[in-house]
Homo-oligomer: A and B are copies of this chain.
Amino acid sequence: MRSIFRRGLLLSGLGLLTLTAQAQTAAATKVNKADSVSLRKIYDEALLRGQSYENLRYLTSQIGGRLSGSPQAEQAVQWGKTTMEKLGLDRVYLQEVMVPHWVRGAKEKAEIKPAKGKGLEMNVCALGGSVGTNGKIKAQVVEVKSWAELAALRDDQVKGKFVLFNRPMNPTFIETGQAYGDAGDQRRNGAIEAAKRGAVGALVRSLTLAHDDFPHTGTMRYDEKVTKIPAAALSTNGADQLSQLLKADPGLTFELEMACETLPEVKSYNVVGEIKGSKYPDEVIVVGGHLDSWDLAQGAHDDGTGCVQSIEALRLLNAAGLKPERTVRAVLFMNEENGVRGGTKYAELAKAAGEKHLAAMESDGGGFTPRGFNIEAPAATVKKVQQWQPLFRPYGSTEFKAGHSGTDIEPLKDQAKALIGYDCDDQRYFDIHHTAADTFDKVNRRELELGGASMASLIYLMSKYGL
């Protein structure tokens, strides 16, 4: 790209036009010029003096992966508390919660043994919650791409074997989150359905649209009435390779060894920080992300970004001099990945205390360029939130639509007027999601900061106008 001067000029011109257009539209709605100015202050603070990126650097590189029950999860709790205490909020505290404690263990190995010739090592990872193999499991493999294919197999074709669930994610979904939801049943139910047919283990194709060598972990389920068999993820390349080898050599043996296990539950915490509302302190707006993350990497996009953006949202309101009229509370939820105990506990305590929640917002789809917000609320409330969309046009965060909010705030469904999911570009998200590649270097500073600013902006408007 070259003609930057012409371009610069034109675009600056447009910038002004956009603002004017926006101000005009705004006049017709509940918003006004003063709100445009307040949002501009929030974005300027985020882009000029943002702290979320450096906070994320510390959380991901100094603490790293932090699965519930791990020492890193406890370090993260202390980090979250100290980080919010430095902001001079009105109140910072912990909420005790018991969490599951699953550990991957030292060994995680797999090898393909052809009828003749050398073995081939496979890159695998245990799915979260899986039982271990208690030594090595050696068995043949049968591949299926649908539940119907599994049902159509004779018992002797499944009994004593590994079942390879190899249905790829559907790339024609435009939002990758839809493709993820569409393919997730293999990971969730594979071990149960395979065990019902007498299989010794479940091998699941990783939930990603990328073709690479990273196995993706994530939760799986057991049914107490069905034998618990080990479940492991293969990378998409690995699943394709095993599938090819099976065509040539259906009798090949797969060797799996995993030392993962579930230990007794552990005491952990949600971390909460709040700014008291100046006019309506009893009306609460929650903004949060989850503090725990899978153990394979640093939990950068899932969900370090949501945590630092939630903390930043409160900092931005203070730094921009926009004291909220309603109470704004940042919550770093514990145990989203394998239990949602933190989110459940938060809702229980809020109910017990008779707290009135106006809205709850969550950022748990990565820290990429903002697109807008997904609103879970009655139609009239969705409309109310959509009234503010024009204010976000200068910032490109324009998609205000009905949709899923977030796992940690779902338990507040009957207590909050609106549940809101921060929506950002998700094209790259599942390439790294739940893998060793979810690291700090995948996060772009500006994308992260623009997200925090858009979250703070909507929170500011709700704290001023209510819902």
Contacts and interface: CB of A to CB of B under 8 A. Distances in A.
A177 B7 contact: yes
A427 B398 contact: no
Interface in A168-219: 171-178, 180-182, 184-185, 188, 207, 209-210, 218-219
A137 interface: no
A174 B6 CA distance: 18
A402 interface: yes
Nearest to A14: B403
A2 interface: yes
A1 B433 contact: yes
A365 B184 CA distance: 35
A42 B389 CA distance: 30
Contacts of A44: 172
A174 B2 contact: no
A220 B74 CA distance: 54
Interface residues of A, number: 70
Interface stretch (A27-35, A153-161, A277-285, A442-450): A442-450
A174 B395 contact: yes
B7 A172 contact: no
Nearest to A8: B181
Contacts of A401: 14, 18
A7 B446 contact: no
B185 A5 contact: yes
A181 B396 contact: no
A175 B12 CA distance: 10
Interface in A331-366: 336-338, 340, 364-365
Nearest to A5: B184
Contacts of A407: 1-3
Contacts of A178: 8, 11-12, 15
Contact of A4 (B47, B180, B446): B180
Given A4-B180, A403-B11, A404-B11, A431 B410 contact: no
A108 interface: no
Contact of A43 (B172, B209, B337, B410): B172
Interface string A16-29: 01100000000000
B336 A181 contact: no
Contact of A302 (B1, B188, B365): B1
A425 interface: yes
Interface in A291-310: 302-303
B1 A43 contact: no
Interface of A: 1-12, 14-15, 17-18, 43-44, 47-48, 171-178, 180-182, 184-185, 188, 207, 209-210, 218-219, 302-303, 336-338, 340, 364-365, 369, 371, 394-396, 398-399, 401-404, 407, 410, 425, 427-428, 431, 433, 444-447, 450
7 contacts: A2-B340, A3-B340, A8-B180, A10-B403, A174-B394, A369-B369, A427-B446
Given A2-B407, A8-B182, A17-B402, 12 more contacts: A1-B364, A2-B340, A3-B407, A3-B410, A4-B180, A6-B181, A7-B180, A11-B181, A14-B401, A174-B394, A369-B427, A396-B399
